[in-house]
Amino acid sequence: MYGKDDFELRHAPHDLDRDFPASGAGRPETTPAISVSNLNKTYDSGFQALRDIDLEVHRGEIFALLGPNGAGKTTLISIICGLVNATSGRVLVEGHDNFSAYREARSRVALVPQELTTESFETVWATVSFSRGLFGKPPNPDHIEKVLRDLSLWDKRNNKIMTLSGGMKRRLLIAKALSHEPRVLFLDEPTAGVDVDLRHGMWEVVRHLRETGVTVILTTHYIEEAEEMADRVGVINKGSLVVVEEKNELMRKLGGKRLTLQLSEPLERIPEGLDGRNLDLAADGYELTYTYDSNGEGTDIAALLTELGEAGIHFTDLHTEQSSLEDIFVSLVRERQ
Ligand SMILES: Nc1ncnc2c1ncn2[C@@H]1O[C@H](COP(=O)(O)OP(=O)(O)OP(=O)(O)O)[C@@H](O)[C@H]1O
Protein backbone atom coordinates (compact mmCIF):
# COMPACT_ATOMS: atom_id res chain seq x y z
CA MET A 1 0.00 0.00 0.00
CA TYR A 2 1.14 3.52 -0.64
CA GLY A 3 0.70 5.96 2.19
CA LYS A 4 2.11 9.14 3.50
CA ASP A 5 4.82 8.28 5.94
CA ASP A 6 5.99 10.50 8.79
CA PHE A 7 7.93 13.53 7.65
CA GLU A 8 11.60 13.60 8.46
CA LEU A 9 13.74 16.57 7.54
CA ARG A 10 16.59 15.95 5.21
CA HIS A 11 19.67 18.00 4.48
CA ALA A 12 19.23 21.08 2.31
CA PRO A 13 19.92 19.76 -1.15
CA HIS A 14 21.83 21.30 -3.97
CA ASP A 15 19.77 20.82 -7.06
CA LEU A 16 19.11 22.19 -10.48
CA ASP A 17 16.14 24.21 -9.27
CA ARG A 18 18.60 26.89 -8.24
CA ASP A 19 20.11 27.09 -11.70
CA PHE A 20 17.16 26.76 -14.05
CA PRO A 21 13.74 28.35 -14.26
CA ALA A 22 10.83 26.54 -12.64
CA SER A 23 9.41 25.61 -16.03
CA GLY A 24 12.35 23.29 -16.53
CA ALA A 25 13.28 25.08 -19.75
CA GLY A 26 16.97 24.86 -20.46
CA ARG A 27 17.59 21.79 -18.36
CA PRO A 28 20.11 19.63 -20.14
CA GLU A 29 18.60 16.64 -21.90
CA THR A 30 21.39 14.61 -20.35
CA THR A 31 20.00 15.15 -16.85
CA PRO A 32 18.93 11.67 -15.72
CA ALA A 33 15.22 10.99 -15.50
CA ILE A 34 15.75 9.83 -11.93
CA SER A 35 18.79 10.22 -9.76
CA VAL A 36 18.82 8.61 -6.33
CA SER A 37 21.76 8.99 -3.98
CA ASN A 38 22.58 7.59 -0.56
CA LEU A 39 18.95 6.76 0.03
CA ASN A 40 18.02 5.06 3.28
CA LYS A 41 14.66 4.22 4.73
CA THR A 42 13.97 3.02 8.23
CA TYR A 43 10.28 2.64 9.04
CA ASP A 44 8.89 3.79 12.37
CA SER A 45 8.95 0.16 13.47
CA GLY A 46 12.75 0.37 13.30
CA PHE A 47 12.91 -1.85 10.22
CA GLN A 48 15.47 -0.68 7.68
CA ALA A 49 13.87 -1.23 4.30
CA LEU A 50 16.47 0.53 2.10
CA ARG A 51 20.23 0.83 2.53
CA ASP A 52 22.42 3.34 0.72
CA ILE A 53 20.66 3.17 -2.61
CA ASP A 54 22.39 4.92 -5.51
CA LEU A 55 20.63 4.72 -8.84
CA GLU A 56 20.34 6.67 -12.06
CA VAL A 57 17.59 5.97 -14.54
CA HIS A 58 18.22 7.38 -18.01
CA ARG A 59 15.65 9.33 -19.93
CA GLY A 60 13.55 7.29 -22.30
CA GLU A 61 14.58 3.87 -21.06
CA ILE A 62 12.58 0.98 -19.68
CA PHE A 63 14.11 0.10 -16.34
CA ALA A 64 13.00 -3.05 -14.52
CA LEU A 65 13.38 -3.24 -10.77
CA LEU A 66 13.50 -6.86 -9.69
CA GLY A 67 13.65 -8.40 -6.26
CA PRO A 68 12.05 -11.04 -4.07
CA ASN A 69 9.07 -10.25 -1.84
CA GLY A 70 9.88 -7.67 0.78
CA ALA A 71 13.12 -6.59 -0.94
CA GLY A 72 12.17 -2.90 -0.87
CA LYS A 73 10.89 -2.24 -4.41
CA THR A 74 7.63 -0.61 -3.37
CA THR A 75 9.41 1.43 -0.71
CA LEU A 76 11.87 2.73 -3.29
CA ILE A 77 9.31 3.70 -5.91
CA SER A 78 7.04 5.21 -3.25
CA ILE A 79 9.90 7.43 -2.09
CA ILE A 80 10.77 8.47 -5.65
CA CYS A 81 7.12 9.31 -6.29
CA GLY A 82 6.98 11.38 -3.11
CA LEU A 83 4.46 9.14 -1.36
CA VAL A 84 6.82 8.00 1.40
CA ASN A 85 9.63 10.05 2.90
CA ALA A 86 13.19 8.82 2.95
CA THR A 87 15.07 8.74 6.23
CA SER A 88 18.14 10.16 4.49
CA GLY A 89 19.47 10.67 1.00
CA ARG A 90 18.00 12.45 -1.95
CA VAL A 91 15.99 11.93 -5.11
CA LEU A 92 16.07 14.15 -8.19
CA VAL A 93 13.42 13.85 -10.88
CA GLU A 94 14.83 15.33 -14.09
CA GLY A 95 17.04 17.42 -11.83
CA HIS A 96 14.32 18.53 -9.40
CA ASP A 97 14.74 17.54 -5.77
CA ASN A 98 11.62 15.64 -4.76
CA PHE A 99 11.75 17.18 -1.29
CA SER A 100 12.77 20.82 -1.71
CA ALA A 101 11.12 21.11 -5.15
CA TYR A 102 8.29 18.72 -4.42
CA ARG A 103 5.79 20.13 -6.91
CA GLU A 104 8.20 20.21 -9.82
CA ALA A 105 9.34 16.69 -9.11
CA ARG A 106 5.88 15.29 -8.36
CA SER A 107 4.31 16.66 -11.53
CA ARG A 108 6.90 14.78 -13.58
CA VAL A 109 6.15 11.32 -12.23
CA ALA A 110 3.12 9.08 -12.22
CA LEU A 111 2.52 5.77 -10.55
CA VAL A 112 0.28 3.17 -12.12
CA PRO A 113 -1.14 1.01 -9.34
CA GLN A 114 -2.06 -2.60 -9.90
CA GLU A 115 -5.79 -2.20 -9.67
CA LEU A 116 -8.58 0.31 -10.15
CA THR A 117 -10.37 1.23 -6.99
CA THR A 118 -13.80 2.85 -7.50
CA GLU A 119 -15.34 5.21 -10.05
CA SER A 120 -17.25 2.40 -11.78
CA PHE A 121 -20.09 4.69 -12.85
CA GLU A 122 -17.79 7.32 -14.35
CA THR A 123 -17.01 7.34 -18.04
CA VAL A 124 -13.51 6.74 -19.32
CA TRP A 125 -13.28 10.33 -20.57
CA ALA A 126 -14.44 11.84 -17.28
CA THR A 127 -12.14 9.82 -15.09
CA VAL A 128 -9.04 10.50 -17.18
CA SER A 129 -9.85 14.22 -17.42
CA PHE A 130 -10.44 14.33 -13.67
CA SER A 131 -7.06 12.73 -12.99
CA ARG A 132 -5.39 15.53 -14.94
CA GLY A 133 -7.19 18.12 -12.84
CA LEU A 134 -5.88 16.51 -9.66
CA PHE A 135 -2.41 17.65 -10.67
CA GLY A 136 -3.60 21.21 -11.12
CA LYS A 137 -3.20 21.05 -14.88
CA PRO A 138 -5.68 23.01 -17.02
CA PRO A 139 -8.02 20.93 -19.18
CA ASN A 140 -6.45 19.73 -22.42
CA PRO A 141 -8.90 17.65 -24.44
CA ASP A 142 -6.34 17.16 -27.22
CA HIS A 143 -3.91 15.54 -24.81
CA ILE A 144 -6.61 13.32 -23.28
CA GLU A 145 -7.67 12.28 -26.79
CA LYS A 146 -4.10 11.40 -27.71
CA VAL A 147 -3.65 9.33 -24.53
CA LEU A 148 -6.89 7.45 -25.12
CA ARG A 149 -6.03 6.81 -28.76
CA ASP A 150 -2.52 5.65 -27.87
CA LEU A 151 -3.98 3.18 -25.40
CA SER A 152 -6.74 2.02 -27.78
CA LEU A 153 -9.42 3.40 -25.48
CA TRP A 154 -10.75 6.12 -27.74
CA ASP A 155 -13.73 4.05 -28.87
CA LYS A 156 -14.59 3.45 -25.22
CA ARG A 157 -14.34 7.06 -24.11
CA ASN A 158 -18.05 7.32 -23.32
CA ASN A 159 -18.29 3.90 -21.69
CA LYS A 160 -18.74 3.53 -17.98
CA ILE A 161 -15.73 1.93 -16.33
CA MET A 162 -17.81 -0.97 -15.06
CA THR A 163 -18.40 -2.05 -18.66
CA LEU A 164 -14.70 -2.34 -19.50
CA SER A 165 -12.82 -5.62 -19.77
CA GLY A 166 -9.90 -6.39 -17.45
CA GLY A 167 -7.40 -5.41 -20.14
CA MET A 168 -9.16 -2.12 -20.80
CA LYS A 169 -9.18 -1.36 -17.09
CA ARG A 170 -5.44 -1.89 -16.93
CA ARG A 171 -4.97 0.46 -19.89
CA LEU A 172 -7.28 2.97 -18.23
CA LEU A 173 -4.98 3.00 -15.20
CA ILE A 174 -2.13 3.95 -17.49
CA ALA A 175 -4.29 6.59 -19.22
CA LYS A 176 -5.09 8.16 -15.85
CA ALA A 177 -1.41 8.21 -14.96
CA LEU A 178 -0.51 9.80 -18.31
CA SER A 179 -3.26 12.41 -18.09
CA HIS A 180 -1.01 15.04 -16.50
CA GLU A 181 1.83 14.46 -18.98
CA PRO A 182 4.38 12.88 -16.61
CA ARG A 183 7.89 12.30 -17.89
CA VAL A 184 8.49 9.18 -15.80
CA LEU A 185 5.94 6.44 -15.40
CA PHE A 186 6.16 3.83 -12.65
CA LEU A 187 4.36 0.58 -13.28
CA ASP A 188 3.94 -1.57 -10.20
CA GLU A 189 3.57 -5.18 -11.30
CA PRO A 190 1.83 -4.19 -14.54
CA THR A 191 0.76 -7.71 -15.44
CA ALA A 192 0.22 -9.34 -12.05
CA GLY A 193 -2.59 -11.84 -12.30
CA VAL A 194 -3.39 -11.29 -15.98
CA ASP A 195 -3.53 -13.91 -18.69
CA VAL A 196 -0.83 -14.42 -21.28
CA ASP A 197 -2.62 -12.53 -24.09
CA LEU A 198 -3.20 -9.53 -21.90
CA ARG A 199 0.36 -9.62 -20.66
CA HIS A 200 1.68 -9.45 -24.22
CA GLY A 201 -0.74 -6.63 -24.98
CA MET A 202 0.59 -4.68 -21.98
CA TRP A 203 4.15 -5.19 -23.16
CA GLU A 204 3.19 -3.61 -26.47
CA VAL A 205 1.65 -0.66 -24.65
CA VAL A 206 4.80 -0.15 -22.56
CA ARG A 207 7.09 -0.31 -25.59
CA HIS A 208 4.89 2.22 -27.32
CA LEU A 209 5.18 4.53 -24.29
CA ARG A 210 8.94 4.43 -24.55
CA GLU A 211 8.66 5.42 -28.21
CA THR A 212 6.70 8.48 -27.15
CA GLY A 213 9.63 9.53 -24.93
CA VAL A 214 8.28 8.46 -21.54
CA THR A 215 10.76 6.86 -19.15
CA VAL A 216 9.29 3.68 -17.71
CA ILE A 217 10.27 2.08 -14.42
CA LEU A 218 8.53 -1.15 -13.66
CA THR A 219 8.58 -3.64 -10.84
CA THR A 220 7.80 -7.20 -11.68
CA HIS A 221 7.94 -10.70 -10.32
CA TYR A 222 7.77 -12.07 -13.86
CA ILE A 223 11.42 -12.09 -14.79
CA GLU A 224 10.39 -12.97 -18.32
CA GLU A 225 8.69 -9.59 -18.46
CA ALA A 226 11.96 -7.81 -17.69
CA GLU A 227 13.82 -10.03 -20.12
CA GLU A 228 11.30 -9.15 -22.80
CA MET A 229 11.09 -5.41 -22.27
CA ALA A 230 13.76 -3.84 -20.10
CA ASP A 231 16.72 -1.88 -21.42
CA ARG A 232 18.34 -2.06 -18.00
CA VAL A 233 17.70 -4.10 -14.90
CA GLY A 234 18.23 -3.37 -11.22
CA VAL A 235 18.11 -6.17 -8.68
CA ILE A 236 17.25 -5.24 -5.13
CA ASN A 237 17.61 -7.66 -2.25
CA LYS A 238 17.09 -7.01 1.45
CA GLY A 239 17.03 -3.27 0.88
CA SER A 240 20.28 -3.09 -1.10
CA LEU A 241 20.68 -2.62 -4.81
CA VAL A 242 22.91 -5.52 -5.73
CA VAL A 243 23.15 -5.07 -9.50
CA VAL A 244 22.30 -2.37 -12.02
CA GLU A 245 23.18 -3.31 -15.55
CA GLU A 246 22.14 -3.23 -19.19
CA LYS A 247 20.00 -6.32 -19.58
CA ASN A 248 21.96 -7.67 -22.51
CA GLU A 249 25.23 -7.00 -20.73
CA LEU A 250 23.96 -8.73 -17.59
CA MET A 251 22.98 -11.76 -19.59
CA ARG A 252 26.28 -11.71 -21.42
CA LYS A 253 28.33 -11.35 -18.25
CA LEU A 254 26.46 -13.66 -15.93
CA GLY A 255 24.67 -15.95 -18.32
CA GLY A 256 26.10 -19.33 -19.23
CA LYS A 257 25.39 -21.61 -22.13
CA ARG A 258 24.65 -25.30 -22.25
CA LEU A 259 25.24 -27.71 -25.09
CA THR A 260 23.38 -31.01 -24.83
CA LEU A 261 24.29 -34.04 -26.93
CA GLN A 262 22.02 -37.08 -27.35
CA LEU A 263 24.38 -40.01 -27.72
CA SER A 264 23.79 -42.89 -30.12
CA GLU A 265 25.26 -45.38 -27.62
CA PRO A 266 25.08 -45.08 -23.82
CA LEU A 267 28.33 -44.11 -22.15
CA GLU A 268 29.46 -45.54 -18.83
CA ARG A 269 31.74 -42.70 -17.90
CA ILE A 270 33.36 -39.63 -19.38
CA PRO A 271 36.57 -40.85 -21.02
CA GLU A 272 39.93 -39.78 -19.67
CA GLY A 273 41.28 -36.86 -21.63
CA LEU A 274 37.84 -35.29 -21.71
CA ASP A 275 37.46 -35.03 -17.95
CA GLY A 276 39.11 -31.62 -17.97
CA ARG A 277 36.11 -30.33 -19.91
CA ASN A 278 33.03 -29.24 -18.03
CA LEU A 279 30.98 -32.28 -19.06
CA ASP A 280 28.11 -34.02 -17.25
CA LEU A 281 26.80 -37.43 -18.11
CA ALA A 282 23.14 -38.26 -17.49
CA ALA A 283 22.39 -41.28 -15.30
CA ASP A 284 21.19 -43.35 -18.29
CA GLY A 285 24.41 -42.55 -20.17
CA TYR A 286 22.58 -41.20 -23.21
CA GLU A 287 22.95 -37.48 -22.60
CA LEU A 288 26.12 -35.47 -22.34
CA THR A 289 25.91 -31.83 -21.25
CA TYR A 290 28.62 -29.27 -21.70
CA THR A 291 28.27 -26.03 -19.72
CA TYR A 292 30.37 -23.11 -20.79
CA ASP A 293 30.76 -19.38 -20.58
CA SER A 294 29.85 -18.06 -23.98
CA ASN A 295 32.46 -15.28 -23.69
CA GLY A 296 35.19 -17.34 -22.14
CA GLU A 297 38.33 -18.82 -23.55
CA GLY A 298 38.45 -22.50 -24.34
CA THR A 299 34.87 -22.83 -25.43
CA ASP A 300 35.67 -24.08 -28.90
CA ILE A 301 32.75 -26.38 -29.54
CA ALA A 302 34.15 -27.62 -32.83
CA ALA A 303 37.27 -28.84 -30.99
CA LEU A 304 35.13 -30.54 -28.34
CA LEU A 305 33.09 -32.36 -30.99
CA THR A 306 36.29 -33.50 -32.71
CA GLU A 307 37.65 -34.81 -29.40
CA LEU A 308 34.40 -36.67 -28.78
CA GLY A 309 34.59 -38.22 -32.27
CA GLU A 310 38.18 -39.29 -31.63
CA ALA A 311 37.06 -40.88 -28.37
CA GLY A 312 34.48 -42.87 -30.33
CA ILE A 313 31.51 -40.96 -28.93
CA HIS A 314 28.82 -40.29 -31.52
CA PHE A 315 25.64 -38.33 -31.12
CA THR A 316 22.27 -38.29 -32.82
CA ASP A 317 21.19 -34.80 -31.83
CA LEU A 318 22.52 -31.66 -30.18
CA HIS A 319 21.08 -28.39 -28.96
CA THR A 320 22.25 -25.33 -27.06
CA GLU A 321 20.47 -23.27 -24.41
CA GLN A 322 21.28 -19.82 -23.07
CA SER A 323 20.58 -19.26 -19.38
CA SER A 324 17.62 -16.96 -18.88
CA LEU A 325 17.44 -13.74 -16.91
CA GLU A 326 15.46 -15.79 -14.41
CA ASP A 327 18.42 -18.16 -13.86
CA ILE A 328 20.68 -15.15 -13.33
CA PHE A 329 18.21 -13.45 -10.98
CA VAL A 330 17.78 -16.57 -8.86
CA SER A 331 21.52 -17.04 -8.52
CA LEU A 332 22.09 -13.36 -7.67
CA VAL A 333 19.47 -13.38 -4.94
CA ARG A 334 20.47 -16.81 -3.63
CA GLU A 335 24.16 -15.83 -3.43
CA ARG A 336 23.23 -13.12 -1.00
CA GLN A 337 20.90 -15.10 1.27
N1 LIG B 1 4.88 0.96 6.70
C2 LIG B 1 5.78 0.02 6.99
N3 LIG B 1 6.22 -0.15 8.25
C4 LIG B 1 7.16 -1.09 8.56
N5 LIG B 1 7.71 -1.92 7.64
C6 LIG B 1 7.31 -1.80 6.37
C7 LIG B 1 6.34 -0.84 5.97
N8 LIG B 1 6.14 -0.94 4.62
C9 LIG B 1 6.97 -1.94 4.23
N10 LIG B 1 7.67 -2.44 5.26
C11 LIG B 1 8.68 -3.52 5.20
O12 LIG B 1 9.73 -3.10 4.37
C13 LIG B 1 10.21 -4.22 3.60
C14 LIG B 1 10.17 -3.84 2.14
O15 LIG B 1 8.80 -3.78 1.74
P16 LIG B 1 8.38 -3.40 0.25
O17 LIG B 1 6.89 -3.38 0.20
O18 LIG B 1 9.12 -2.20 -0.18
O19 LIG B 1 8.95 -4.67 -0.54
P20 LIG B 1 8.69 -5.15 -2.04
O21 LIG B 1 10.03 -5.44 -2.61
O22 LIG B 1 7.84 -4.15 -2.75
O23 LIG B 1 7.90 -6.48 -1.81
P24 LIG B 1 6.76 -7.21 -2.70
O25 LIG B 1 7.49 -7.75 -3.89
O26 LIG B 1 6.31 -8.30 -1.78
O27 LIG B 1 5.72 -6.19 -3.02
C28 LIG B 1 9.36 -5.40 3.96
O29 LIG B 1 10.02 -6.17 4.93
C30 LIG B 1 8.11 -4.77 4.57
O31 LIG B 1 7.54 -5.62 5.54
Question: Is the distance from the beta carbon of residue 72 to the nearest atom of ligand 1 less than 6 Å?
Answer: yes
- The winner for highest mean pLDDT among 46-60, 166-180, 248-262 is 46-60
Q: Which residues contact 83 (CB under 8 A, 6 or more apart)?
A: 2, 3, 4, 5, 111
Residue 47 near ligand 1, beta carbon < 6 Å: yes
Is the distance from CB of 75 to CB of 49 less than 8 angstroms? yes
Q: How many whole angstroms separate alpha carbon 30 and alpha carbon 94?
A: 9
Task: For residue 57, give the nearest of 90, 89, 85, 94 by alpha carbon.
Answer: 94
User: What's the gap in Å between 43 CA and the centre of ligand 1?
Assistant: 9
Q: How far apart are CA 303 and CA 308, in angstroms?
A: 9
Nearest atom within ligand 1 for CA of residue 72: 18
Residue pair 60/32 in contact (Cβ under 8 Å)? The answer is no
Rounded CA separation 99/81 (Å) = 10
Main-chain dihedrals φ then ψ at residue 65, nearest 5 degrees: -105, 115
pLDDT of residue 156: 95
Each domain of the chain, given as residue ranges in start order, spans 16-251, 255-335
The answer to whether residues 90 and 38 touch, using CB atoms and an 8 Å cutoff, is yes
Minimal-distance CA residue to ligand 1 atom 11:
49
How remote is the CA of residue 184 from the centroid of ligand 1, in Å?
Answer: 22
3 CB within 6 A, ligand 1 = no
Q: Strand order of the sheet with strand 215-219?
A: 109-112, 184-188, 215-219, 62-66, 232-237, 240-246
- For residue 243, the cross-strand partners are 235
The residue nearest atom 1 of ligand 1, judged by CA position, is 43
34 DSSP β-pair partners: 57, 93
- Residue 19 CB coordination number (10 Å): 10
**How far apart are the CA of 91 and the centre of ligand 1, in A?**
19
Whole-model pTM over 0.80: no
CATH annotation of 16-251 = 3.40.50.300
Residue 175 pLDDT > 70:
yes
**Complex ipTM, two decimals?**
0.97
C-beta of 41 in contact with ligand 1 (< 6 A): no
300-329: average pLDDT: 83
- According to CATH, the topology of domain 255-335 is Alpha-Beta Plaits (3.30.70)
pLDDT digits (tens, 9 = 90+) for 261-292: 999 999 998 888 887 777 889 989 999 988 77
